Amino acid sequence: MMARKSIYALIHAVLAGLLLLSGTALAQDGKGTLRVSTDKGSATVYLGTEEVGDSPLSQQVNVGTYTIRVLKDGFEPYVRKIHIRSNQTTSVTAKLFKGKGSVEFLVEPSGAVLKLNKSKETFKTPVRLKDLKDGTYAYTLSADGHETEKGRFEFRTGKNVLITAELQSSAGLVSVISRPRGATVLLDGREVGTTPLALEDVEAGEHSVQIMKRGYASVFRRFDTSDGSKGEVEARLPKRGVPLTVRTGMKDSQLSIQGMQFGGQSTYRFGPVERGRYALVISAEDRKTIEQTVEVPIKGTALYRARLKPKSGAAASVLTKGKPFYKHWLFYTAVGGTLAAGGAVAAIATASKGTTTTNAPDSKGFILFTLP
């Protein structure tokens, strides 16, 4: 019997504790009443950055701590911290004083930088600006790791302006713009779309972009988003370019150009590409890697040959600049031999007809070939 009573007592204690906790939770999650009035009639009321109405105001508000702002043109802003408690009424009577007006910026994240018009002067937000001249202003809000926001406002003496903004995180965002538009974009060797292009959820780190369009030289660009910043690429595609060819002679070779990876070829052909310097990394299994910067000229060709040496040997792998086939001495030797043979055949054919006894062809039959 005593044991049964002990069990009942324990159950009652547990239930009482649960009811107490439930009551506390309800109180914490409950609402209170906010009443706002001013000594100067109607004014606009803000809780935090949200406009909640005009005074006189009576409204149910979630429990919590807020910054209340009461704005009326011609008067200084009224700003206070308030606490809303469950099932209680919080009354605010704002006493307003004459003012010349102001512009206040409330921005997330706190500390975002504000610039007005084209001025070099900057302000850290939150900030309230006074003594502005009448006029229309352009503003820019920026913060590391966030998208820049731009806007405009109009100020007149005595007017109170509140501008709120929440800058969006730029992590994972990439923008690619080209002139002309409609160019194909390769990101880290993978086709991702055409310009103008906006990408999301791109992994943070170093990336390479190739931008290509028929009739124009392709361009390579690199960017780094390791710090959470947005990757932005803007390029003008040149009309003129030079073909870039890299020969390795090994089908399992790997080539990196400006950080972009290509593989499984013995000859890599890019072209035309814009004039400039390009960082190449050439490798193959059990071969010594080549890391070298090459020059692509404004005209002509850019031909390079890689000789990848075994890792076990003493010789280093080398990358040499080659000549196009039509500039090689073997090409002219072959052409000269062909032309000489043609001349001899012509001379024999002429002699067989009995029209001449000379051992050399007539000067009118010579073919002129200008060597470079």
Task: Dig out the tokens for 348 from the structure.
Answer: 């024999």
- What pLDDT score was predicted for residue 264? 85
User: Do 155 and 161 meet the contact criterion of CB atoms below 8 Å apart?
Assistant: yes
Task: Dig out the tokens for 343 from the structure.
Answer: 């001349």
| DSSP state letter for 202 | P
Query: Position of tokens 């010594």?
Result: 288
CA distances from 244 to 209, 238, 249, 306, 344 (A): 17, 15, 16, 13, 40
Query: Position of tokens 């392709």?
Result: 218
Which residues partner with 292 through β-bridges? Answer: 280
User: Do 249 and 266 meet the contact criterion of CB atoms below 8 Å apart?
Assistant: yes
Which residues partner with 359 through β-bridges? Answer: none
Other C-beta atoms closer than 10 Å to the C-beta of 356 total 12
Other C-beta atoms closer than 10 Å to the C-beta of 249 total 12
pLDDT tens-digit readout, 88-102:
999 999 999 999 999
Average pLDDT score over residue span 150-167: 96
Other C-beta atoms closer than 10 Å to the C-beta of 302 total 22
Judged against a pLDDT cut of 60, whether residue 295 lies above it is answered with yes
pLDDT tens-digit readout, 257-272:
999 999 888 999 988 9
Region for 138 from its dihedrals, namely left if φ exceeds 0, alpha if ψ lies in -120 to 50, beta otherwise:
beta
3-state secondary structure of 363: helix
What distance in Å separates the CA atoms of residue 367 and residue 336, rounded to the nearest whole number? 11
What distance in Å separates the CA atoms of residue 149 and residue 136, rounded to the nearest whole number? 17
pLDDT tens-digit readout, 199-248:
999 999 999 999 999 999 999 999 999 988 899 999 999 999 999 999 99
Q: Note the CATH number of domain 242-322.
A: 2.60.40.1120
- Cα-Cα-Cα-Cα torsion 18, 24, 26, 31, nearest 10 degrees, comes to 170
Q: Which of 177, 179, 180, 199 is nearest to 188 (CA)?
A: 199
Lowest mean pLDDT among 24-33, 41-50, 194-203: 24-33
Q: Which of 216, 213, 214, 282 is nearest to 247 (CA)?
A: 282
Average pLDDT score over residue span 17-22: 46
- What pLDDT score was predicted for residue 216? 96
pTM for the whole structure = 0.60
> What residue spans of the chain are helical by DSSP H?
2-28, 329-352
Query: Position of tokens 């990439």?
Result: 174
**At CB < 8 A and 24+ separation, what contacts does 249-255 make?**
249/305, 249/306, 249/307, 250/284, 250/287, 250/308, 252/284, 252/285, 253/282, 253/283, 253/284, 253/306, 253/308, 254/282, 254/283, 254/284, 255/280, 255/281, 255/282
Check: CATH 2.60.40.1120 for 174-236?
Answer: yes
Q: Which fold has domain 29-99?
A: Immunoglobulin-like (2.60.40)
Task: Dig out the tokens for 19 from the structure.
Answer: 């009811």
Query: Position of tokens 């390791």?
Result: 226
- What pLDDT score was predicted for residue 114? 97
